[in-house]
Structure 1
């Protein structure tokens, strides 16, 4: 599995029973606390391996840091936060590279292991599948509000909890039940990643806007203008790829394309397995998982939101 399917990570077969999963991700701070920044960045980088059904093995740190502007204690806190999440994932930090950079950056190049016969992909969705989302959306809006000192504390707390939670349990549930397709929801937003899934699968999809779980206050934050540039870019990119019912509020349309960090998994599953998947997710503590739509035969507009 390479670049041809717009998938979350590459899969490289080693032999009959083993394949490597490889991915990389890093970004600038989205919260003020350096330890939390490290945790969020690590969870986000690991997510691509979980989206492929893989188990992370090793990670290399990618660090940009303004050594003349910030104390090294800040860098230590970033690295400590990232290392704590890697320990939770049972993934070894085996090295990395640091450069002097005007703006802090942190992330990971992650290598994992997966069965070459049973890895997950975004390209297997079939007509009739239910679409299940495992985390609420809106972290981009909340992060922007945090940067501009306009975020309600409960919204920031909920977003941090979501962004620092690993997708490990969701991936394990998906593998145990058996799903047709999987992707994680990050920079292209919920509808952007769904568009990638239906394009790779040769199908279409319908989303129920009211069924999508949202983080607290995100529509209010959109109304107040705390919209990241990536979200506006997503909206522009998807303008001829997503059809919205007239009843879907304009603010909610923004939230549905919000450029996310460390979002949940979006899963396509046969309807007879949906309740089993939801039960498996909730047994693993993923209480906010919801059915948000269904997969359809191919259509002139790939994604419809009602």
Structure 2
């Protein structure tokens, strides 16, 4: 019997095998910026419509006047212990970047790294089955992939999609006077911290799974709206970090009405009880200098603002006259908690929390 076929006598919790989980595994934005700063510049063909210049969600390469390829990859260590839920969350998160560009996924490749001496073939198979379930929900196949024997369990996708270049939405084209809308509530990082310490009850776990496995399918419909100017998804850098990327890329200031920002039920209570990820602090250290508070903010508020979201919601910047239609599209896809959370204004790039 090969190592891959052998099953361990007992299996540890998936989250116990990982030093971090979900999008909280991301390298902190400040550290990542330093790493990329030393990279040699490469030639950029005119067909490459979106590259690394504004920290956007995916690369986009124009094929012709009506078609462009959207290409992205995302993978991470377990955020939950149930293997199928882990696979579903990771795949949903990877596909989100295609939706965030206004694209429609067409197929995916699986990225698999597993400690085969610690996890059974049944557990690894369940992770892959969870990822396949998310892709079936998106209407696409997993057409291949690559696997390695690794110390920590890792799963994700290379996601490929298509977009009409005239409907492409970047994170860097917000306009002064725009309204900001967030598609999903915050708090996934807080929930994952509580789960890892076995302090998350069944009802809260169900809310977490419902949020993290909901595909950001409004993306293509939103992208067709002429009044929608910029779009991204809120993931590992939190609302503060991905808001900062939008502000920096657009050369404008985002004003966030903190009281209007939706939170997962119970997220604030868990954060007040101390269930905050280390990634939240690393995130804040990277971009906190670009955030100004025009209201009293507690340490818990700051942690929620920088809380790493796994498979988080779309953040949309649109003209005021498009707000009703944007919200209607979110609602038609089942995103009942989508909410107006602020506005875009002229000024030094950054965020103002009011």
Normalization by structure 2: what TM-score?
0.84
89, 93, 100: which one pairs with 2:149?
100
Secondary structure at the aligned position of 1:128 is classed as coil
Partners of 2:325 and 2:83 lie apart in 1 by 39
**Displacement, 1:112?**
0.7
Give 1 or 2 for the bigger CA radius of gyration.
Answer: 2
Partners of 2:225 and 2:201 lie apart in 1 by 38
1:152-188 deviations in Å (ceiling 9; x for gaps):
33222111100000001x2133124331000000001
| Contact 1:67 1:100 survives alignment (8 Å) | yes
| Contact 2:102 2:221 survives alignment (8 Å) | no
1:83-122 equivalences in 2 (<5 Å): 83-122=132-171
Alignment partner, residue 285 of structure 2: 236
**Displacement, 1:66?**
1.1
Alignment partner, residue 173 of structure 1: 221
Partners of 1:151 and 1:73 lie apart in 2 by 25
173, 177, 189: which one pairs with 1:124?
173
The count of corresponding residues between Structure 1 and Structure 2 is 304
**Displacement, 1:15?**
1.3
Q: CA RMSD in A?
A: 1.1
Alignment partner, residue 301 of structure 2: 252
Partners of 1:186 and 1:29 lie apart in 2 by 15
| Contact 1:154 1:216 survives alignment (8 Å) | no
Unaligned 5+ runs, structure 2: 1-49
Alignment partner, residue 27 of structure 2: none
| Contact 1:173 1:277 survives alignment (8 Å) | no
| Contact 1:132 1:291 survives alignment (8 Å) | yes
Partners of 1:283 and 1:38 lie apart in 2 by 26
186, 197, 203: which one pairs with 2:252?
203
Secondary structure at the aligned position of 2:283 is classed as helix
1:16-51 deviations in Å (ceiling 9; x for gaps):
211100000000000010000000000000000000
1:226 aligns with 2:275: yes
Unaligned 5+ runs, structure 1: none
1:66 aligns with 2:66: no
1:279-303 deviations in Å (ceiling 9; x for gaps):
222122211000000000022x610
Alignment partner, residue 351 of structure 2: 303
1:153 aligns with 2:202: yes
**Displacement, 1:228?**
1.2
**Displacement, 1:54?**
0.6
